[in-house]
Structure 1
């Protein structure tokens, strides 16, 4: 039973939201950040700049976090941010490259995270979880929702469709020419229907935001231990999420780029690959995998297609059926000597979106020796791996939509 609730968001007035809301700062270059900070005093980047501008490490983490909190309070004092009068669900629609994503921004239960109602498919790093937990404790808000997915639901879709026929609270284009729309769900009956439909769901799934979810859970446990009057209803028992139907989720893959052949010659490397894959040299013809267990490879000036010889590889569980795991088990570890994907300096990853040519250019540049392209994982694979309590290798999925910061903020 998934427990979500409406909340009183802190958000900008519709007249300036396009200036306030930002991409996650990881997606900006240093030059872009500098330009925004110099020209746009409303940007959310002005609030979080201590977390990425302290290049020399002159500030402690606590000092940086406290400065973020101070900047946030200034935005509230200046009425750039205002808190909603009543609790709402929020319908957020994003249109990117002709693809529409539409879901609900809500507060999601940390107990559901603890009890595995919210399913995970990635491992988390303890140090990152604790660092972000401390950040959340200092600043007191979520600015970017965790991306969760749920089974398509007619009742929820009908409510969202009705609101989308009305004038949105927000309607603006971002600097990447993405269209953004926001509607408020304030009607109690509609709110009750949405809550009850989620309560019928046995599980919902993290698509993107495993560390943010884990950090919110850790914080809820800490604040619970410090509150002798804890009831379970406090805002710290929830975190902000964007819930999107499974059919609306878009999953792409990450290409793998390898720096050396582990001491093998080209012919020795191909001979070892041939034991597990049917290999075809395609010369300069670009190949993109069209089905599961097919891979593209670029090596020494040529593209190759690799098709798994099913008799050579045993699928034992949902994880071993995943192409990212299969490539690790058959090539990266036994042939190329990459034993730990988390800390190896021999491998790099790049999203496969519009980057087919990168398989060639990155290798031709001499930076890498060989590159691999993978067929994207499916939503069903993500779910079955999470249901089996298994964890995908790093960079197994590149998931969209990518969400904006400071469209709505959740205080706790």
Structure 2
């Protein structure tokens, strides 16, 4: 795989904690406004610039993109962020509780995305892709990195070990308790060389960011009669993690009604589909093929391992749950569009499921075992698309620590 050092913008080390923000797509406008309150340096003012405009402003209005451009320019003019003195690669480490993951920050070529050497497993939503495309084009920058993964390579791990044994450029703990540490590598030639032996990358998180970066690059390529392929617009910002360091959380399900069935009818029909156990059931399943169900005030265990599957998609627990239970028993034909189901990120824990069911938001919730990186890669290798809301990667990459301009 091709990676390259880049001479982008980054916060001065003393400003990293106040600049770095959650990514744009994990907060809504009001949450972003509250998080940025009292902090003029928050990068949310770039990736969610509507928070600096009157309440009710359409987040896709032209004024939002103009405000984002102004805010990014102000951060640089005020000396909060600065242009790197030379092309660099970085190591970005995140620590959440006992979990530590380290990724290489570099730019990748949009042709590798277009030619499926950077593999995808999700569909994008047009409105979100259009939004990030317009933002990138207005800023002439990638304000948030794409989260890529690759099959662990010992040579790259050894290089990261050597770098992270040294003094970091910046190190802080965010308000959510996640630690963020950055090491700077001028040139990064050893990493560029090492990644040449990696056959493919996989998009773990950031399908809209990668799609929009490729679109902007293509638009600028087509508009440039002297295009060579080496221009900065051909390269987009990524953090690239080995698969063995990633933490994947499940995406759980809350069903809002029983499709006209009584509790007794639903439970009886369910037992005709899969083995169901009661008593001493862990709310968090411990293996592929196991699902925990909260229903009628208690936890049940479901065993999906005996259900037939014909390909990497249908082998997923979320697919089996959909194909054998949610659709035939509960009438949820398309989870992408159904109003009878909600998806709850695993970061909220199983307590969120019991709380929602107990207060009457829905009669039944399903706690899933997380999709593995091997499953994600197998689906991407087969050029298939993951079912909606299948994976939740945590911790999230902070925006604003690295900005690639073009």
Do the two structures share a fold, i.e. TM-score over 0.5?
yes
Q: 1:233 aligns with which of 225, 230, 240?
A: 230
Aligned residue in 1 for 2:303: 307
In 1, Cα distance between equivalents of 2:38 and 2:72: 18
Contact 1:279 1:304 in 2 (8 A): yes
Q: C-alpha displacement at 1:354, in angstroms? A: 5.4
Match of 2:255 among 248, 253, 258: 258
* Equivalent-residue separation in structure 2 for 1:112 and 1:176 (angstroms): 35
Structure 2 counterparts to residues 107-256 of structure 1, below 5 A: 107-186=107-186, 188=187, 191-256=188-253
8 Å CA contact 1:269, 1:335 repeated in 2: yes
Tell me the equivalent position of 2:14.
15
Please tell me whether the aligned partners of residues 322 and 377 of structure 1 are also in contact (alpha carbons under 8 angstroms). yes
> In 2 relative to 1, CA 301–343 (structure 1 residues): closer, same or farther, beyond 3 Å?
same
Contact 2:144 2:209 in 1 (8 A): no
Q: Secondary structure at the match of 1:39?
A: coil
Answer with 69-78 or 300-309: which moved more. Answer: 300-309
Whole-Å separation in 1 of the counterparts to 2:38 and 2:249: 34
1-structure distance, mates of 2:174, 2:206: 22
Q: Tell me the TM-score normalized by structure 2.
A: 0.94
Gap change, CA 1:36 and 1:259, over 3 Å in 2: closer
Displacement of 1:356: 1.6
What is the CA-CA distance between 1:60 and the residue it aligns to?
A: 5.7
SS of the aligned residue for 2:313 comes to coil
Q: 1: CA distance between counterparts of 2:385 and 2:83?
A: 38
Structure-2 residue corresponding to 1:45 = 44
Q: What is the Cα deviation at residue 358 of structure 1?
A: 2.2
Gaps of 5+ in 2: none
Computed over aligned residues only, the root mean square deviation of the Cα atoms, in angstroms, reads 1.9
1:206 Cα deviation after fit: 0.7
Tell me the secondary structure at the aligned position of residue 353 of structure 1: helix
Aligned to 2:66: 66
Q: How far apart in 2 are the matches of 1:31 and 1:263?
A: 36
Contact 1:7 1:410 in 2 (8 A): yes
Q: CA deviation at 1:61?
A: 2.3
Contact 1:276 / 1:309 at 8 angstroms: preserved in 2?
no
Structure 1 unmatched runs, 5+? none
Q: Equivalent residue for 1:344?
A: 338
More divergent stretch after superposition (17-26 vs 356-365): 17-26
2:320 maps to 1:326: yes
1:376, 1:40 → 2: CA distance? Answer: 36
Q: Is 1:393 matched up with 2:384?
A: no
Count of aligned positions? 405
Distance 2:366 2:344 in 1: 11
Secondary structure at the residue paired with 2:241? strand
Deviation at residue 37 of structure 1 after TM alignment: 4.0
CA, structure 1 residues 34+147, in 2 after alignment: closer, same or farther (shift >3 Å)?
closer
The answer to whether structure 1 residue 362 and structure 2 residue 356 are counterparts is yes
